Amino acid sequence: MIETIGILGGTGPEGRGLAVRFALAGIKVVIGSRDASRADEAVAKIADKVPAGMVFGAVNADAARAEVVIIAVPYAAQADTLKALKPSLDGKVIINVVAPMDFADGKATAVSVPEGSAARQAQQLLPDSRMVGAFHNLSARDLLDPQRTVESDVVVCSDDEVAQKQVMNLAELIPGVRAVNGGGLDNSRYVEELTTLLLNINRIYKAHATIKLVGI
Ligand SMILES: NC(=O)c1ccc[n+]([C@@H]2O[C@H](COP(=O)([O-])OP(=O)(O)OC[C@H]3O[C@@H](n4cnc5c(N)ncnc54)[C@H](OP(=O)(O)O)[C@@H]3O)[C@@H](O)[C@H]2O)c1
């Protein structure tokens, strides 16, 4: 059982949403930020949704010391953030939720990543870490509402099968989530790009769509 999770860029909606769900599952969460006071504000925003003493605020460097670390910064910030924290991240299971995209005129467009995907880029920057891509298709709004059952599949991609299984088990701690083995880390690009499609569908339907695969 994982005891602590650190979230780099955990002050954003996705990081806070994951913090709520993992704290409710009994895991201590450190919300990381570039600024300790912003991290504390983020903790205060979710304090009424989580048990006392389960979520803490810290600078990213302290969040990176947790047992498992989630990367929840925008794609444009990923490389610099990871380079600075590499020594703390070596050897660990790292969960990448980054979906590279741009917005213009209200539409989302997937950003092409030279390495193939944000998760692959992160693995290249952190060759000694155990990179896992997951949680891309979950909406922060659903995660932030603990009354809501998250009816979704979470596709989990990694070249490290042990780390992949660990993250699949972690995903299924969120009520309503089914974890799906998405194969190797190279498949993360398809899952990341799907997030862009979901956002554009959300705009059309004024909804918060997610994914459910059938036939498996
Ligand atoms: N929102 C969603 O529903 C959703 C769904 C699936 C996946 N994702 C992915 O999850 C990640 C986080 O999403 P989000 O919506 O929570 O993002 P966000 O609010 O835009 O950013 C998250 C945090 O990243 C930090 N950050 C921003 N610019 C930075 C920079 N230049 N350098 C270092 N840190 C920086 C900020 O924290 P501090 O200012 O406190 O340092 C910010 O609060 C993204 O990669 C996104 O693609 C989001």
For residue 211 and ligand 1, the question of a CB distance below 6 A is answered with no
Pocket probe for ligand 1: among 11, 14, 191, the residue whose CB has the most ligand atoms within 8 Å is 14
Instruction: For residue range 163-185, list pLDDT tens digits in order.
Output: 999 999 999 999 999 999 999 99
Is the Cβ atom of 71 under 6 angstroms away from ligand 1?
no
| Ligand 1 pocket, residue 45 CB under 6 Å | no
User: Which pLDDT score, from 0 to 100, does residue 1 have?
Assistant: 85
Q: Are strands 101-104 and 107-110 parallel, antiparallel or unpaired?
A: antiparallel
User: Distance, CA 11 to ligand 1 centroid (Å)?
Assistant: 7
Domain ranges of the chain: 4-205
b/e map 22-35, b = 16+ CB within 10 Å? bbbbebbbbbbbee
Cα 48-42-70 angle, rounded to 5 deg: 110
CA of 77 to the centre of ligand 1 (A): 8
Cα 136 to Cα 118: distance, rounded to the nearest angstrom: 11
- Whose CA is closest to atom 32 on ligand 1? 77
24 pLDDT tier (thresholds 50, 70, 90): very high
Q: What is the pTM of this model?
A: 0.98
The Cα–Cα gap between 34 and 85 comes to 12
Arithmetic mean of pLDDT over the chain: 97
Contact between 8 and 72 under an 8 Å Cβ cutoff? The reply is yes
Q: In this structure, are strands 177-181 and 152-158 parallel, antiparallel, or unpaired?
A: parallel
Q: How confident is the model at residue 106 (pLDDT cuts 50, 70, 90)?
A: confident
Gap between the Cα atoms of 205 and 21, Å rounded: 26
Q: Report whether residue 143 contacts ligand 1, using a CB cutoff of 6 Å.
A: no
Residue type (1 letter), 110: A
Residue range 131-136: mean pLDDT, rounded: 98
Ligand 1 atom having least distance to the Cα of 74? 45
Pocket perturbation via mutation, ligand 1, pick of 70, 73, 137, 177 by most ligand atoms within 8 A of CB: 73
Going 154 to 160 to 163 to 166, the CA torsion angle's sign is positive
CA of 7 to the centre of ligand 1 (A): 10
**What fold characterizes domain 4-205?**
Rossmann fold (3.40.50)
The predicted model gives 43-66 an average pLDDT of: 98
Residue % of the chain over a pLDDT of 90: 99
Calculate what percentage of the chain has a pLDDT beyond 70.
100
- What's the gap between Cα 187 and its chain centre? 16
Judge residue 207's burial from the number of C-beta atoms within 10 Å of its C-beta, 0-12 exposed, 13-18 middle, 19 or more buried: exposed
